[in-house]
Amino acid sequence: MTVEVNSANDFSDLVRIDEGLIHSSVYTSEAIFELELARIFHRWWVYVGHESEVAQPGDYCLKWIGRQSVIMTRSEDGTIHLLMNRCRHRGATVCQADKGSSHFFKCQYHGWTYSNDGELIGLPHAAAFGASFDKGSYGLTRVPRVGEYRGFLFASLSPTGVSLDEHLGHSTRFIDDFLAASPEGRIRLSAGIQRTQFKGNWKLVGQDAYHPAVTHRSVQEISQRRAGTRPGSTTASSDLHKDLNKIYAQGSPSLSWDLGGGHGRLDNYPSKLPRTPALLEKIRSTEHGRIYLELLAEVHGEEHVGEVLNRSDPHMSIWPNLMITSSQVRNTRPLAAGLTAVDMWPAFLDGVPAEVNSERLRGHEAFFGAASLGSPDDYEVFERIHVGLQATVDPWVLMSRGLETEQRHPDGTIVGAITDEVSQRAQLRQWLKVMSLNVEAAL
């Protein structure tokens, strides 16, 4: 099949959701990738950063919206700004460091200088630009639309489009669950950033519970040996397909969700309930753990503490580039059809003993760290996928697991067994919708 890409292509011939068939070119074509940048990352809402990354006035950090460099900065009045990292004179970047603190940014080409709220405050020999030159009109360009939900900042390079509330949809209640693990309802991304790249497509990063028993077998076996359970034992998801309606009504051990708008999540909450007493007892075994539980009880009530802890890992993707999973915030940045950057921030909880956050950091390092047994497995598989997708003979991949048994709810969400490919189809369903928009509207 020859793939022709143009502004009129609606891509429905490449993404056949109802059949669970996806053409390989969706992941390998550089032409498609260029349109993704224009139609998704340079037009739609994307996650940019968290307010805690610029905690104090003067703090700044560099961010990316697709290929476009952006400065996230907090000015002296406490306002957070998103400014295009581009001098208004000849276009050089004015900020080079990943993060820092400064009251101004200076272009090293001709010395144009901007305050940290973007205002042009000085330039050499301004009179030479003529009497009509208006310095107030040449501040750093602001990102056209900026939105925030409970400290998470999103941006769109398009001045028009759906609202952030419309975009986030059902995902906000699970952000709430993530933050509820803090007695103060806040996190901070102050532990540092872990960066990696893999040679594969950005759409491979998502919620997939079909792979852990194989890809992460070594991790599971180590955990099971430590827990004294039988090696290789896993929750049998095949039974979930016998009567999903009945199982869902009773509270399934684990489910996968299409939340609408491309957002997806893996729901292990019901399956965690039998382990809740043991979890609480383990936390109570340390002084800092007892203090933490008491702090949560003061906010949520003692009878709800176990529920709060169970729900505190939403294991969710917010389309197109944010994941909130375990105790981390993850940003996916596409660099090419076959190259993706992934940035991960361990999320500390505000208002808890320092030891609680230390344990969260150690847990992050154990599975997601560069020398861990978890994330490196995933990136290795993603790179194998990218190599395999170069084959042009029968270039289709199958994404139909659970397609015949998933259940659609009146609120538009779709639910299936946790090992079903519900959330992957959610991502591609939104991809198809947005990619079918007229590209000229994105430029």
Could you tell me the pTM of the whole model?
Answer: 0.91
Q: Where in the chain is the domain with CATH 2.102.10.10?
A: 48-156
With respect to CATH, is domain 170-268+313-435 assigned 1.10.150.170? no
Q: Where in the chain is the domain with CATH 3.90.380.10?
A: 170-268+313-435
Q: Which two tokens stand for residue 370?
A: 């560069």
Give me the tens of pLDDT residue by residue for the chain, a chain 443 residues long. 455 555 556 799 999 999 999 999 999 999 999 999 999 999 999 999 999 999 999 999 999 999 999 999 999 999 999 999 999 999 999 999 999 999 999 999 999 999 999 999 999 999 999 999 999 999 999 999 999 999 999 999 999 999 999 999 999 999 999 999 999 999 999 999 999 999 999 999 988 888 888 888 877 677 667 666 654 444 444 444 444 454 444 445 689 999 999 999 999 887 888 889 999 999 999 999 999 999 999 999 999 999 999 999 999 999 999 999 989 999 999 999 999 999 999 999 999 999 999 999 999 998 888 888 788 899 999 999 999 999 999 999 999 999 999 999 999 999 999 999 999 999 999 999 999 876 444 33
Judge residue 255's burial from the number of C-beta atoms within 10 Å of its C-beta, 0-12 exposed, 13-18 middle, 19 or more buried.
Answer: buried
Judge if the upstream peptide bond of residue 320 is cis by omega within 30 degrees of 0.
yes
CATH number for the domain formed by residue range(s) 48-156: 2.102.10.10
Q: How far apart are CA 6 and CA 14, in angstroms?
A: 13
Rounded to whole angstroms, what are the CA distances from 302 to 292, 297, 305, 307, 401? 12, 4, 5, 10, 40
